[in-house]
Structure 1
Amino acid sequence: MSTANLNADDDAIVAATRRWLERAVIGLNLCPFAKSVYIKEQVRYVVSSATTPEALLEDLMNELQNLSDADPEKVDTTLLIHPFVLQDFEEYNEFLDVADAAVEDMHLDGELQVASFHPHYQFADSDANDISNYTNRAPYPILHLLREDSVARAVEAFPEAADIFEKNIATMEELGHDGWDKLDVGPAR
């Protein structure tokens, strides 16, 4: 595990994020690619102290550059956890366009991409409490920075990658809200 700028509160935030990764993302196999980088300790956890979207953008750009410069054998992916900004999902969702533009402006498109997790994640045309939304719900808002090469290798190794979304929905429907709550990974209903 690689961490950056951790204090006591940050430790608790990272611990909650790791619990979510272990119990939900890996434990429910929501992302069949996550276990490998997690076990190899190639995940970098960064807790942003940003309280404005502008400050978060600065942190995002720093972390995009850090990931681009890092040895993939040491850091393959970064979780930029930002508990103090973009708590509203609609504002967060709008920020994702800014994040994608930053990747492009830094000439990292084709090299890196940004995935998204949020405590109030909601797919378009779904009810806010629909269990399918929980596939992308995390204890804190997170910008997940991924290497395109790693994604391509993972998809190649997992031929049914196109079926992941549907499988995840089925997993969540079988688990239900009570099952999710028992995982204790936040957020609860």
Structure 2
Amino acid sequence: MNIPDKDTVAAHTRMWLEKAVIGLNLCPFAKAPYAKNRVRIAVSEARHLDGFLEDLDRELQLLGETPAEELETTLLVHPALFGDFLQFNDMLDLADGAVADNDLEGVVQIAPFHPDFQFEDTDADDIGNYTNRSPYPTLHLIREDSIAKAAEAFPDASAIFGRNIALLEEMGKEGWDKLDIPRCPFHQHTD
């Protein structure tokens, strides 16, 4: 298996952020912290789950100890450890446990992204799944204060998901593919 180096993984993740998350406005709250260089992309090279969870602990601690004016959010990316989406999904309970273990409940929450992300009760090729598809398995560590501030600025935050689905349905898979976002070469892609 030819695993991309950390710089390549970070560059692919940055491209996804710029073209999809910010470019398509999938998350209207992402542009400002990204433009202010307050988004950290951390690439884990852990060989096993325990090592990845230690990396997660370090990133949670860094986020918890750093003022939001310097670091607002972190993307923890692993290019190879979670090739299977169900395995990645099972790990999320451990990730949420790490938030609690680091005394960050109510301070930080985690949003998951994966190359084969699939919402419950959807088909694998459902275009709506692409709202949470990233080049590599990724945990987005989000400050709850940032979410609250964003919700004040965008009072109908619940409408974002519906707008995103409508946009993706209009684009279709062909439109998404035209974004030319790199895809992890060794994941089993479901589409």
Q: Tell me what 2:77 maps to.
A: 81
Alpha-carbon separation, structure 1, partners of 2:39 and 2:89: 23
Q: Tell me what 1:5 maps to.
A: none
Q: Tell me what 1:71 maps to.
A: 67
Q: Tell me what 1:143 maps to.
A: 139
What residue identity is the alignment partner of 2:125? N
Q: Tell me what 2:96 maps to.
A: 100
Alpha-carbon separation, structure 1, partners of 2:167 and 2:100: 34
Within the alignment, does 1:170 sit opposite 2:166 as a pair? yes
Deviation at 1:186, TM superposition (A): 3.8
1:36 aligned residue (32, 40, 43) = 32
Runs of 4 or more consecutive aligned structure 1 residues displaced over 2 Å after TM superposition: 186-189
- Once the two structures are superposed, what CA deviation does each residue of 1:65-104 show, in whole Å capped at 9, x if it has no partner? 0100012111100010111211110010011111111111
RMSD: 1.2
Q: Tell me what 2:153 maps to.
A: 157
What residue identity is the alignment partner of 1:118? H
Deviation at 1:51, TM superposition (A): 2.3
2:47 aligned residue (44, 48, 51) = 51
Q: Which runs of 5+ in 2 are unaligned?
A: 184-188
What residue identity is the alignment partner of 1:108? L
* SS of match in other structure, 2:5: helix
Q: Tell me what 1:117 maps to.
A: 113
* SS of match in other structure, 2:170: helix
Alpha-carbon separation, structure 2, partners of 1:105 and 1:111: 12
Alpha-carbon separation, structure 1, partners of 2:161 and 2:179: 20
What residue identity is the alignment partner of 2:97? A
Alpha-carbon separation, structure 2, partners of 1:25 and 1:47: 19
Identity of aligned residues (%): 56
* SS of match in other structure, 1:115: strand
Alpha-carbon separation, structure 2, partners of 1:89 and 1:57: 17
- Once the two structures are superposed, what CA deviation does each residue of 1:24-75 show, in whole Å capped at 9, x if it has no partner? 0011110000000010000011100012211111100110001000121111
The normalised TM-score by structure 2 is: 0.92
* SS of match in other structure, 1:161: coil
Aligned length, in residue pairs: 182
- Once the two structures are superposed, what CA deviation does each residue of 1:133-159 show, in whole Å capped at 9, x if it has no partner? 000000000011011101110011101
Contact 1:53 1:86 in 2 (8 A): no
